[in-house]
Structure 1
Amino acid sequence: MPKYVYDFTEGNKDLKDLLGGKGANLAEMTNLGLPVPPGFTITAEACRHYLRHGGMPEGLGDEIGSHLAALEARMGRRLGEADDPLLVSVRSGAKFSMPGMMETVLNIGLNDQSVLGLAKQAGNERFAWDSYRRLIQMFGKTVLGIDGEHFEDALDELKGDRHDTDLEASDLQRLVETFKGIVRREAGREFPSDPREQMDLAVAAVFASWNAPRAVLYRRQERIPAGLGTAVNVVAMVFGNLGDDSGTGVAFTRDPGSGRQGVYGDYLQNAQGEDVVAGIRNTVPLQELETIDPASYRELLDIMATLERHYRDLCDIEFTIERGKLWMLQTRVGKRTPEAAFCIASQLVDEGLIDLDEAVERVTGDQLAQLMFPRFSGTADNRRLTTGMNASPGAAVGKAVFSSERAVELAGRGEDVILVRRETNPDDLSGMIAARGVLTSRGGKTSHAAVVARGMGKTCVCGAEELDVDPHERRFTAPGGITVEEGDVISIDGGTGAVYLGEVPVAPSPVAQYFEGRSVDGELVAAVDRLMTHADSVRRLAVRANADTPEDAARARRFGAQGIGLCRTEHMFLGERRRLVEDLILASTPRERQTALDALEPLQTDDFTGLFAAMEGLPVTIRLIDPPLHEFLPDLTDLAVRVALAADGASARDRRLLEAVRRLHEENPMLGLRGVRLGLAVPGLFAMQVRAIAAAARRAADPRAEIMIPLVGAVQELEIVREEAVRILAEAGVSALIGTMIEVPRAALTAGRIAGAAQFFSFGTNDLTQMTWGFSRDDVESSFFGKYLDLGVFGVSPFESIDREGVGRLMRIAVEEGRRARPDLKLGICGEHGGDPDSVHFCHDIGLDYVSCSPFRIPVARLEAGRAALVSGGSDTR
C-alpha cells in the first residue's frame, strides 16, 4: 500500500512533487533544527486519488490517525480535548506556490467544550473565543461553501465603529453563536463539534480547492500543470493573537521588489497569519520588531541568514511569535519582481553561492520582457493623489474600475484599466489579470495583491491608506476631497508607490535603452548585461529578426540579431505601390504584365539594398511574395457598391478591378492561390523578385542572401522555382542559398524529398499550427478559444507556444528526415513562436540552428537560447 502521510522529520526540500512546496520546506527546516511546530503532510498523490475517484484512498484515514496520535503524544495534548486541547491547522501546499488560491483552515479542534479549556490554559478568554469564531468562519466558507459575506456582514454589524481588537470576549462569544446560526441556515447542518470530523472535512476541502475556479485560472496564467494536485499539511497551532507579546509576520531575506539586501517584511502584533495576508489591518515594517521584541528579532535574523545560505536564494518566510517564542511556519524561495530576479542572481554570483550558469537559469525571458516596459517619464506634483507601498514595479495607466468583473469587461473591449480595491482576495484574480495595474488602500508588501501582482509582473501599489475606497459607489476619495469615479483615468507607479490623477507620460525603461545601445548605469542594467553576456557565450541557437525595413533591421541588430530570418516582401507592396500590384493583376497580355513587373523591380531592388546594408555580413532570408493577390485589391463589397452607384459613370479601371476581384475571390484564400502557387501561376513574378535580390546583392559590400520559397507542399513546386532562380543568380554572378518554408503538414511529412532541392528549411509555425489544427489564427481567438482554455483542451494557445505533441512532432519529423537527406541542411524558425521562451527551448531540443522573431523579442530569445543550452547540458542534439 502506498505511503500517503509523512511526518515533518521524514521529508526534505527535494520532495516537492510528493509533499508540495510547503510540506517539503517545513520538513527541511525541521531537519535544520529550526523552531517549526510539529506536524505531518498528506501527499499530493492522495489528492490526485481524491480528484480522480471522488474519495480518499483506502487506508488513508488510519494512516492519518496514526500520525495524529504521534503528534498528540509529542505535544502532550489530544486534539480537541476539553481541558487542554491540541489545535491544528490544515493548510494546502502544492509543488508550485499559488498564493491565496487554495484553502487553509486554522484552529481545528475547537468546540463548545474545548474553547473553555483553551481559555483556561491560555489565561485569555477573549483569545479563545476569537479563535473559535475564526474557525467557524473559515470552516463555513472553505469546507461548507457558505458565502463569506454572511460572516463578514455579521462581524461588521457587531463591530460598528470599533476595530477587531476592540471586541471583548463577550462580544466574540455572541459572534460564535451568530456564526453557528449562519452555518445552520446556509449549510443546513450544525457546525461539527467532533474534532476529527472537522479535520477530515477540512482535508477533503483543501483537496477539492485544487479545482476551484480561481485556482484553475491561476494555474492557467502561470502555466502550472493541472494534474499535480496539492499536498495538505496538518500542523500544531501556535498563536500570534495571545496579546501584544505575540504576533505574526512575513519576512524576505532580500527586497523582493528591488533585490537590495536588508530587512524586509511586515509584522502585526496580536494577530494570526491571515490578518497579514488579507490586509485587514495595516502592518508595521519588520524592523519595528527590534523594538517590540528584541530577542525574537535577533533570532529571526539569524534564521533568515541560515535559510538564505541553505537555499542559496531569496527566501520568503512566515513566522509567528507566541508569547515571546518564535516559530517558523513556512519558507520558500520567494517570488520577486523581474528587476529583483536579475539583481539577486548577479549578487549571489558575487557572494559565491551560485555560478554564472545557475544565475542565467534563475532568470527568464518573460522577466526580461517585463523589464523592457516603459516607465513614467515625468510626474506633475499637482496631480499626485497619494503615495502607497511600492509593491510591484512598473508604470500603469488606465481607467479606474472597482470590481474584477468590470475590469474584465472593459479590458475585453481593448481598454486599459486599473483595478482599485480596499484589498484584493483570490476571487479578484481574473480582474488582476485583465488590469494594467492594481491599487489597494489596505495591505503591505506581503498582502494578496502584492504577492500575486509580483508573480504576474503586474504593477501594484498597496496600502494607500489615505484613499477611501467605496466599491459599492464605484469611486474613491483622496486627500483634499478629490473624488475619482469609475472610468476616470489614473496612473500608478509601482516603483515609488505614487498614485496620480490622469495620464502620466511614460518613457523607455533603462533596460530597453541598454539594448538600444545607449549608455545606461545602475545595478539592474549591469546585472542584465552580465547575464546576457553569459547567455550569449553558452547558447547554441543563433537569434535572427523578422524585419521588412532597413529601420527594423537596424534596430534588430542593435538588439543583438545575428541576421534576418524573415523578410516578408508582401509588406513592400503596400501604400503607394498597391496601384502597381493592381496593374500586374489587371494585365491581360504578357507585355502588360511585364510592364508592371518592370515598374516594381527597381523598387524591390532598393528595398533589398537597404536590408543588405543594415545587415552587412549577416544572413538575410527573403521570403518571396506569399499572400493571395486579392489582398492587394479593394474589398469586393466596397468595390461592387462603388461601381453600382457610379453606374455608367464607373471608370473602366474600376470595372476591370471588380472583374478581377470576383475572378480571384476564394472561399478560403489561406488555402488557395498563394505562396509558391502564386509564383507558378503568375509568370515572371518570382523571377522579378530574384533579379531584384541579385541586383541588390551586387551593390552590397558583404551580402548573405537567402531566398525562401513559401508554402511548398511538393518537391516539384520547389524544383521549378529553384531552377529559374539558380539561372538568374548565375547570370548576375551572385550566390545565394535557396530554401523553403515548412508550413504545410505535407512538407513536414515529405521533408526528406524536399531537402534534396532545399539548402535550408525555415518553419513557418503560424501557418503550420493553423493547418495542423484546422482553424484560422485570424478568427479563432475571438470565437471558441476561451472555452477551450476553460475546458483544458489547451493549456496555452498553440499560437502562443508551440504545440509539441502535434505541430512539434511534425517539426521533429522534418528535422530528422531533412538532415538525413542533407546533413548540412540549415534549420530555423520564423513564426512568432520564435520569441516565445518555451518554444525557444523546444527549438534547441530538436536541433534547429536559429530562431527568428520580432526585433523587440530578440533579447528574450537570446536569453532563453542560453538557458536552453544550460538546461540541456549544452549538448547538440544533432
Structure 2
Amino acid sequence: MPLAENPIVLDGSVELSKNDIGGKAWSIAHMAALGIRVPPAFVLPTSTCWAYLNGGMTLSEDSKRALREGIAYLEESLHRTFGLGPSPLLVSVRSGAPVSMPGMMDTVLNLGIDQVVEDKLAVEFADEAFAREVHCRFIESYGRIVLKAEVERTQQSSPKELTEQIANQVDLQVPTDPWEQLFGAVAAVFESWQSPRARTYRRHWSISDELGTAVTIQAMVFGNRDEASGTGVIFSRNPMTGEGAPFGEYLSRGQGEEVVSGERTPQNLSRLAEQIPEVCRELLATASKLEKDARDIQDIEFTVESGTLYFLQSRVAKRSPRAAVKCAVEMAEAGWITREEALSRVSADQVKILLRPYLTEEYLVNAQIVAQGQPSCPGIAQGIGVTGADEAVARVGDGEAVVLLAHNTSPQDLHGMIVSSGICTEVGGSTSHAAVVSRQLGRPCIVGCGNEELSALEGKFITVDGFNGVIYVGVDWLPKAKIDEDPDLSTLLAWAREVAPIKVSTPDVTTNFLDLDLQGITELDQVVSYVDDRRQVRSTLFETLEGIEAAMNIEGIEIVTEQPLVALLMAMEVANKRSSQR
C-alpha cells in the first residue's frame, strides 16, 4: 500500500525522512532507536494531509482504517483499551511539519475520554479529582481546537459546565464516541496547516506551503497525575546565551500546553532536582546524549508520570543570535562541526542584531526602572510600548519603532512580534511561546513581568534590557556595538575571510576606495560601468543579498563596508544557493 494509507509505528525500527513523517514523529522514532524512553506512538504521514486538504476536507476511509490500525498497536503495546475500561487508553493528537514551526499548529490532549471513561480512570488511579481534571482538559482542548469555541476552564469547572459553554457558542457537542473525537482532532490538525498564523510563519521564514503536516498520535502520559508528576522543557545548553550548561523549566502537576502557552509560569530545573533527584539526573544525561548525537543544541519536551521520565520530542533549538554565534564557535573549536558548518549556522541577520545598540552605565544616569521580569532573549530594544499586534504593525508602517507589551503571547500575535523591536509579557517563562519565538526572531524579550505591570507603559518610549530582564524609561537612543569587541564574532570573521567567495575590507583600513553612494549610483545595473578598474568599492547596494550577488559577478572586486562579517556571510549564502541549483 502507498505510504499515505498506512499508519507508521514509531518504535525506531524504521527511520523515514522528516519530509514524509514530520519532525515530531521523526524525533520520537529516533529517540526510540537510541534506547530513550518514549510513550508508544504512530503517525499519519504528510501525504495524508494533502489527501485530506485536496479531497474535500474529508478523512478518507483509508485514513480512518490507518487510524484504527494505529490505535490497535497502542492498545497492544500498553494493554489498554481505547474508549473502554477497566484500563482506558487516552492519546494526544499532535501536528508535526517537516520544518519546526513552534506553536503555529494545533494539538489535542487527553483524547478518548467521556463520562464512562472518566469513571473508569477514577477507579484505576483511585483519584476522582484527577480523572475529572483530565476530562475537563480534554473538553477545553477539543472545544477550542476542533469546534473553534472560546472555553474558560477553572479548577472548579465540571465537564457538564464546559460542554454547555461550547454548545451555547457554536451549537455543537463534544463527541462522546472516541473514534469521532479522533477523526475530528486529526482533521483539525490537518486544517491548521492552512491557518493564518501558520501561513504568516511560513511566509516570514520562507518555508514552502507545499510541505504539509503529519499527525502524530501518541499514548498519553500524565504530568498532572500526582505530586511525583510534572512536565517541562530542557535545552541541552542555554538558548539565550549559548553557554554549555543545560537550561530548562519544570511545572509540577501540569501538562505541556500550560508551559508553552505561558498559562502557568514554571520553575527552573532545581525544583525537579529537589523533588525527584534521580529523574533529574536521567534528564540531564539524556539531554547530553541527544546533543552529542545531533551535534547541535536540543530543545527537549518531557513528562514525568509518578516518578517515571518520558521524552516526547527533541529538536534543534531555536536560539538567540548570541547563542547561535557562541554555540557555533564552541562546537567548531571542539571538533564537533567544521568551520564551514559553524559559519552556516549563523546568518547575516543574526550578526546585524548583535551589532545593534548596547547599554552601558553612562546611558542609565537618567533612567528609571519601570518593570522587571525573566530575560528570555538577550539584547537591547527601544521603541514605543504598544499592547496589540495589529497596532504594532500599523505604527511600524508609519515609521515608528515599537516594543510589543502583552499579558502573554499566542500564535495569533506573530505578525506583531515580527515587526516589533522587543517583546515583553506579564506571565510565562523562558520556554513559553513568547520566549521561543522571540529567540528565533532575534528580538530581545522579557517574560513574567507580573500581572498588570505592563499596561501603564503603553505609549511610552521604553528601553528593554534582554540581558538582565529590566525595562527602563528615560534612556536616549543608544550607540551600536563593534565587532572587534566581541571575541566570538571576531573568530567567525577570521574564518569567513578564509572561505567566503569575495574579499571584504573596512573603511578604516582601506581609504582609497570608490564610494558609489557619493556618485549617486542607486541601481545595480549601473555598478559595473562605474567600477571599471577601481576594485575597492563601497555602496549601500551591497547591504542586500542581491547587491552581494551582483558584486560577486564582478571579477576582482573588494567590498568596503563597516560590517564585513555580514557581507561575507551573505556571499556564502549566495554561493550555497548557486551550488544547490546546479
Q: TM-score, normalised by structure 2?
A: 0.91
Q: Within 5 Å, give how 1:474-623 maps onto structure 2.
A: 476=455, 484-511=456-483, 514=484, 520=485, 525-543=486-504, 554=507, 557=510, 564=514, 567-568=516-517, 570-571=519-520
Larger helix share, 1 or 2 = 1
Greater CA deviation, 233-242 or 856-865? 856-865
Q: Within 5 Å, give how 1:774-793 maps onto structure 2.
A: none
* Cα distance in 2 between the residues matched to 1:73 and 1:843: 63
Q: Within 5 Å, give how 1:632-711 maps onto structure 2.
A: 708=529
Contact 2:517 2:539 in 1 (8 A): no
Q: Deviation at 1:379?
A: 2.4
Q: 1:113 aligns with which of 111, 116, 128?
A: 116
Residue in 2 that maps onto 1:16: 18
Q: Deviation at 1:838?
A: 8.0
Contact 2:21 2:43 in 1 (8 A): yes
- Aligned in 2, Cα 1:128/1:264: closer, same or farther, shift over 3 Å? same
CA distances 1:11-30 after superposition (whole Å, capped 9, x unpaired):
77761111111111111001
Contact 2:298 2:315 in 1 (8 A): yes
- Aligned in 2, Cα 1:829/1:85: closer, same or farther, shift over 3 Å? farther
Unaligned runs of 5+ in 2: none
Q: 1:863 aligns with which of 569, 573, 577?
A: 569
Residue in 2 that maps onto 1:271: 254
- Aligned in 2, Cα 1:12/1:102: closer, same or farther, shift over 3 Å? farther
Greater CA deviation, 234-243 or 531-540? 531-540
Q: Deviation at 1:383?
A: 0.5
Q: Secondary structure at the match of 1:254?
A: coil
Q: Is it true that 1:414 corresponds to 2:363 in the alignment?
A: no
* Cα distance in 2 between the residues matched to 1:14 and 1:843: 41
Q: Is it true that 1:386 corresponds to 2:368 in the alignment?
A: no
Q: Deviation at 1:285?
A: 0.8
Residue in 1 that maps onto 2:180: 197
CA distances 1:21-47 after superposition (whole Å, capped 9, x unpaired):
111111100111101000011111211
Q: Deviation at 1:873?
A: 7.2
- Aligned in 2, Cα 1:485/1:315: closer, same or farther, shift over 3 Å? closer
Q: Deviation at 1:399?
A: 1.9
Q: Which amino acid aligns with 1:64?
A: L
Greater CA deviation, 183-192 or 88-97? 183-192
Q: Which amino acid aligns with 1:22?
A: K
CA distances 1:578-623 after superposition (whole Å, capped 9, x unpaired):
xxxxxxxxxxxxxxxxxxxxxxxxxxxxxxxxxxxxxxxxxxxxx6
Contact 1:395 1:506 in 2 (8 A): no
CA distances 1:806-851 after superposition (whole Å, capped 9, x unpaired):
xxxxxxxxxxxxxxxxxxxx9x99884x43458857987xx66478
Contact 1:835 1:854 in 2 (8 A): no
Q: Secondary structure at the match of 1:207?
A: helix
Q: Is it true that 1:213 corresponds to 2:196 in the alignment?
A: yes
Q: Secondary structure at the match of 1:211?
A: coil
Contact 1:459 1:493 in 2 (8 A): yes
Residue in 1 that maps onto 2:318: 335
Q: Is it true that 1:63 corresponds to 2:95 in the alignment?
A: no
Greater CA deviation, 529-538 or 858-867? 858-867
- Aligned in 2, Cα 1:62/1:375: closer, same or farther, shift over 3 Å? same
- Aligned in 2, Cα 1:374/1:354: closer, same or farther, shift over 3 Å? same
Q: Secondary structure at the match of 1:506?
A: coil
Contact 1:6 1:41 in 2 (8 A): yes
Q: Which amino acid aligns with 2:3?
A: K
CA distances 1:107-165 after superposition (whole Å, capped 9, x unpaired):
0001111011112112221111111111111111111122x2xx22xx3xxx5xxxxxx
Q: Deviation at 1:180?
A: 0.7
* Cα distance in 2 between the residues matched to 1:842 and 1:90: 48
Q: Which amino acid aligns with 2:446?
A: V
Q: Which amino acid aligns with 2:462?
A: I
Q: Within 5 Å, give how 1:844-859 maps onto structure 2.
A: 849=555, 855-856=561-562, 858-859=564-565
Q: Deviation at 1:398?
A: 1.8
* Cα distance in 2 between the residues matched to 1:268 and 1:372: 36
- Aligned in 2, Cα 1:73/1:493: closer, same or farther, shift over 3 Å? same
Q: Deviation at 1:242?
A: 1.1
Residue in 2 that maps onto 1:652: none
Q: Within 5 Å, give how 1:34-113 maps onto structure 2.
A: 34-54=36-56, 55-56=58-59, 59-113=62-116
Structure with the greater alpha carbon radius of gyration: 1
Q: Deviation at 1:539?
A: 2.2
Alignment RMSD (CA, Å): 3.0
- Aligned in 2, Cα 1:140/1:855: closer, same or farther, shift over 3 Å? same
Residue in 2 that maps onto 1:424: 409
Residue in 2 that maps onto 1:137: 140
Q: Which amino acid aligns with 1:835?
A: E
Q: Is it true that 1:226 corresponds to 2:209 in the alignment?
A: yes
* Cα distance in 2 between the residues matched to 1:431 and 1:349: 35
Residue in 2 that maps onto 1:770: none
Aligned length: 575
Contact 2:224 2:230 in 1 (8 A): yes
Q: Deviation at 1:187?
A: 2.5
Contact 2:366 2:474 in 1 (8 A): no
- Aligned in 2, Cα 1:505/1:81: closer, same or farther, shift over 3 Å? same
Residue in 1 that maps onto 2:452: 468
Q: Deviation at 1:350?
A: 2.7
* Cα distance in 1 between the residues matched to 2:193 and 2:509: 43
Contact 1:115 1:128 in 2 (8 A): yes
Q: Deviation at 1:528?
A: 1.8
* Cα distance in 1 between the residues matched to 2:79 and 2:205: 43
* Cα distance in 2 between the residues matched to 1:58 and 1:841: 51
Percent of aligned positions that are identical: 34
- Aligned in 2, Cα 1:368/1:556: closer, same or farther, shift over 3 Å? farther
Residue in 2 that maps onto 1:3: 3
Q: Deviation at 1:9?
A: 2.2
* Cα distance in 1 between the residues matched to 2:346 and 2:16: 21
CA distances 1:636-692 after superposition (whole Å, capped 9, x unpaired):
xxxxxxxxxxxxxxxxxxxxxxxxxxxxxxxxxxxxxxx99xxxxxxxxxxxxxxxx
* Cα distance in 2 between the residues matched to 1:220 and 1:446: 24
Q: Secondary structure at the match of 1:59?
A: helix
* Cα distance in 2 between the residues matched to 1:838 and 1:323: 56
Residue in 2 that maps onto 1:835: 543
Contact 2:46 2:211 in 1 (8 A): yes
- Aligned in 2, Cα 1:36/1:145: closer, same or farther, shift over 3 Å? same
Residue in 2 that maps onto 1:26: 28
Contact 1:357 1:870 in 2 (8 A): no
* Cα distance in 2 between the residues matched to 1:854 and 1:138: 56
* Cα distance in 2 between the residues matched to 1:298 and 1:432: 36
CA distances 1:513-535 after superposition (whole Å, capped 9, x unpaired):
x2xxxxx2xxxx22222222222
- Aligned in 2, Cα 1:102/1:853: closer, same or farther, shift over 3 Å? farther
* Cα distance in 2 between the residues matched to 1:509 and 1:830: 21
Residue in 2 that maps onto 1:311: 294
Q: Which amino acid aligns with 1:216?
A: R
- Aligned in 2, Cα 1:198/1:414: closer, same or farther, shift over 3 Å? same
CA distances 1:189-237 after superposition (whole Å, capped 9, x unpaired):
2210111111111111111001111111111111111111111110100
CA distances 1:559-593 after superposition (whole Å, capped 9, x unpaired):
xxx965x625554xxxxxxxxxxxxxxxxxxxxxx
- Aligned in 2, Cα 1:400/1:328: closer, same or farther, shift over 3 Å? same
Unaligned runs of 5+ in 1: 160-166, 470-474, 477-483, 515-519, 545-552, 572-622, 628-674, 677-705, 711-735, 739-825
Query: Of the two structures, which has the highest relative contact order with CA contacts closer than 8 Å and spacing of 6 or more?
Result: 2
Q: TM-score, normalised by structure 1?
A: 0.61
